[in-house]
Amino acid sequence: MKAFELIQPASLDAALEALPGARDTKARDRVKLLAGGQDLLGELKEHLIEPQTLVNLKSIPGLDAIEHRDDGSLRLGALVTLARIEEDRTLRERFALLAEAAGAVASVQIRNAGTLGGNLCQRPRCWYYRHEQAVCIKKGGSECFAYGGLNKYNAILGGGPSYIVHPSDVAPALVALEAQAVIRGKRGERQIPLEQFFTLPSEGSVLRENVLTSEEILTHVIVPAQSGAPWRSTYLKFRERGSYDFALSAVALRLSMDGDKVRAARLVLGGVAPIPWRCEKAEKALVGREIDAQTAEFVGKLALEGAEPLEHNAYKILLTQGLITKALRKLAS
Partner 1 sequence: MSHDQLQPADAGDVRAAFTRRSLFRGAGALAAGSIVADAARSAAAAPSVRLEGALEIELSINGAAQKVKVEPRTTLLNALRNHCSPPLTGAKLVCDRGSCGACTVHVDGRPVYSCMTLAIDAVGKKVTTVEGLAKGGELTEVQRAICEHDGSMCGFCTPGFVMSITACLERKPDATLDEIKHACAGNLCRCGTYPHLFDAALAAGRALRAKGGK
User: Minimum Å distance from CB 139 to partner 1?
Assistant: 16
Residue nearer to partner 1 on the CB measure, 9 or 300: 9
Nearest to 253 by CA among 271, 221, 231: 231
Element (H, E) at 32: strand 31-34
* Shortest spacing between CB 4 and partner 1, in angstroms: 6
DSSP 135-193: --GGGT-S--TTTTS--TTS-SSS-SS-------SHHHHHHHTT-EEEEEETTEEEEEE
The sign of the torsion formed by the CA atoms of 273, 277, 281, 282 equals positive
**End-to-end C-alpha distance for the chain, whole angstroms:** 51
**Residue 120 is which amino acid?**
L
Q: Nearer Cβ to partner 1, position 243 or 333?
A: 243
Q: Which residues bind partner 1 (CB under 8 A)?
A: 1-11, 13-15, 17-18, 34, 37-38, 41-42, 44-46, 54, 56, 58-59, 61, 83, 106-110, 112-113, 132-133, 243-244
**Cβ neighbours, 10 Å, residue 140:** 10
- Minimum Å gap between C-beta 129 and partner 1 is 15
- Beta carbon of residue 207, minimum distance to partner 1 (angstroms, whole number): 23
- When the beta carbons of 57 and 304 are compared against partner 1, the nearer one is 57
Q: Which is nearer to partner 1, 96 or 134 (CB)?
A: 134
Minimal distance in Å, beta carbon 111 to partner 1?
A: 9
Sorted by sequence, the CB contacts under 8 Å of residue 82 that are 6+ apart come out as: 102, 105, 110, 111, 114, 115, 116, 119, 170
Closest CB to partner 1 among 126 and 194?
Answer: 126
What does residue 81 show for φ and ψ, rounded to 5 degrees?
-75, 155
Shortest Å distance, C-beta 285 to partner 1: 36
Please identify, using beta-carbon distances, which residue of 25 and 109 lies nearer to partner 1.
Answer: 109
- Asked if residues 304 and 320 have their Cβ atoms less than 8 Å apart, the reply is yes
DSSP designation for 232: E
